[in-house]
């Protein structure tokens, strides 16, 4: 009965060398990257991959050797992800994000950006006008004394001193530290605004309003003391970047919320997925903007005490961001 060998054994014998070769190439690529592969390996790869895949189909129907089938399953999975996976390096991905992905995602979400702008600046305006009518509103919004005593009871001199830095003051590192805390807070708020968009965008709207109210009430305090112009300069040197970032984070949340609430012809899940990836790109950009804002705040604001220079920087940064996001550019075809 033992004259001829097993079919599955012969099948394996004929192909085993190729499987092992593919395994070796994949191991090398996984450990040290595509660049570690020789040209010979690269040309052999598609053939070896196709062969392994067809070996798997055949093995499933003729072989009962568990080990062979498990091995081929794992080999084919690894090969599939390598052959059809992304082979760009991290650097290329970052460049692509900066050159194309980010501005495209932002300029593709003008509607949600306007909506986020309305909620955020609506919150600011609401709190501002309420506080201007009756300063008691300030204490409704903030029941504890936040902001280092910047409240309606503070004197004009004190408020003025918070806007400009005394060159002889040694508390500069504290201010830099404050910008670090603020970054942390803003970055979390941004990611929350993005991620909570999932719940139809309602928590996002609330977050935007709430943060707007905080800024608006503080604004009213300074405005009432006749420091509106100076405070605007103090706020806007980094605020243009920061508020823009938070608005965009809100827009990212609304992109997702809109896709979940109104999926259109797609299934809700597909719609959420398509929107989620676009929104995540915007959210990533927000983190970058917030880093820049923190640098402007931590260093720029302490070093630059002239109102004109502060307004110039604010104006220039607004122009640059808008140009970066919204100016049509060549080679935008994907």
Partner 1 sequence: MTNTAVPPGRPGISMEAAQRRRARMAEQMRVGKMTRTLVTPEGAEIKLKLASVAERAGAFAIDVAIQWAIVIGVLLGMIFTMGAMGMEQANFAFAFWMVFYFFVRNFYYIFFEIGRKAATPGKRALGLRVATRDGGRLTADAVLARNFMREVELGLPLQFVFMGLGGDQVGGWMALFGLCWSCVFLFFPVFNRDKMRVGDLLAGTWVIKSPKAQLMSDITSAIMTPEQGARFAFTPAQADAYGIHELHVLEDVLRQSTPEIKQQVAGRIRDKIGWARTAGETDLAFLEAYYAALRKRLEQRMLLGERKTDKFDMGR
Contact 228, 89 (CB under 8 A): no
Sign of CA dihedral 194, 200, 204, 205: positive
Q: Which of residues 296-315 bind partner 1 (CB under 8 A)?
A: none
Out of 14, 30, 136, 148, the residue judged to bind partner 1 by CB under 8 A: 30
Under the binding rule (CB under 8 A), the answer on residue 140 touching partner 1 is no
Residue 218 · residue 150 · CB < 8 Å: yes
Q: Which of residues 106, 283, 296, 313 is near partner 1 by CB under 8 A?
A: 283
Among 21, 44, 97, 311, indicate the residue that binds partner 1 (CB under 8 A): 97
The reply to whether 7 sits near partner 1 by the rule CB under 8 A is yes
Judged by phi (left if over 0) then psi (alpha if -120 to 50, else beta), residue 35 lies in alpha
Binders of partner 1 among 173-212, rule CB under 8 A? 173-174, 176-181, 183-184, 187-188, 191-192, 194-196, 198
Nearest in space to 209 (alpha carbons), one of 235, 237, 189: 189
Closest distance between partner 1 and the C-beta of residue 84, in Å? 6
**1 counts as binding partner 1 under rule CB under 8 A:** yes
Judged by CB under 8 A, the residue of 17, 90, 308, 327 near partner 1 is 90
Residue 21 has, within 13 A of its CA and on its CB side, a CA count of: 16
Q: Which stretch binds partner 1 (CB under 8 A): 143-151, 218-226, 236-244, 274-282?
A: 274-282
Instruction: Please check whether residue 250 is in contact with residue 208, taking contact to mean a CB–CB distance below 8 angstroms.
Output: yes
103 interacts with partner 1 by CB under 8 A: no
Q: Is 112 in the site for partner 1 (CB under 8 A)?
A: no
Near partner 1 in 212-271, by CB under 8 A? 256, 269
How many residues make contact with partner 1 (CB under 8 A)?
Answer: 79
Neighbouring C-alpha atoms within 13 Å toward the C-beta of 172: 13
Task: Say whether residue 56 binds partner 1 (CB under 8 A).
Answer: yes
Contact 298, 180 (CB under 8 A): yes
Please give the torsion angle defined by the CA atoms of residues 314, 321, 184 and 299, in that order, rounded to the nearest 10 degrees.
-40
């Amino acid at each position: 009965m033992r004259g001829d060998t097993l079919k599955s054994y012969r099948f394996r014998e004929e192909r085993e060398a190729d499987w092992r070769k593919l395994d070796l190439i994949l191991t090398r690529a996984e450990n040290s990257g595509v660049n570690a592969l020789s040209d010979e390996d690269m040309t052999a790869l598609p053939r070896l991959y196709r062969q392994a895949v067809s070996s798997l189909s055949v093995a499933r129907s003729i072989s009962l050797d568990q080990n062979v089938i498990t091995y081929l399953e794992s080999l084919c999975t690894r090969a599939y992800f390598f052959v059809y996976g992304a082979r760009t390096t991290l650097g290329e991905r970052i460049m692509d994000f900066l050159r194309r992905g980010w501005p495209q995602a932002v300029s593709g979400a003008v509607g949600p950006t306007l909506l986020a702008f309305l909620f955020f600046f609506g919150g600011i305006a609401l709190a501002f006008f309420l506080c201007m009518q009756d300063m008691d509103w300030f204490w409704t919004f903030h029941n504890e004394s936040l902001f280092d005593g910047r409240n309606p009871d503070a004197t004009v001199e004190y408020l003025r001193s918070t806007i400009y830095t005394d060159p002889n003051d040694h508390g500069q590192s504290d201010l830099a530290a404050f910008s670090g805390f603020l970054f942390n807070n803003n970055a979390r708020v941004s990611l929350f605004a993005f991620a909570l968009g999932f719940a139809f965008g309602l928590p996002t709207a609330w977050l935007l309003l709430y943060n707007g109210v905080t800024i608006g009430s503080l604004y009213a305090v300074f405005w009432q003391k006749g420091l509106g112009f100076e405070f605007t300069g103090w706020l806007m040197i980094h605020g243009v970047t920061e508020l823009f970032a938070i608005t965009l984070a809100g827009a990212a949340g609304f992109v997702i919320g809109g896709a979940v609430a109104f999926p259109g012809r797609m299934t809700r899940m597909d719609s959420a997925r398509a929107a989620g990836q676009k929104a995540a790109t915007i959210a990533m950009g927000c983190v970058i903007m917030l880093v820049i804002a923190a640098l402007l705040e931590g260093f720029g604001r302490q070093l630059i005490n002239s109102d004109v220079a502060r307004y110039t920087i604010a104006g220039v940064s607004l122009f640059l961001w808008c140009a970066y996001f919204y100016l049509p550019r060549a080679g935008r075809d994907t």
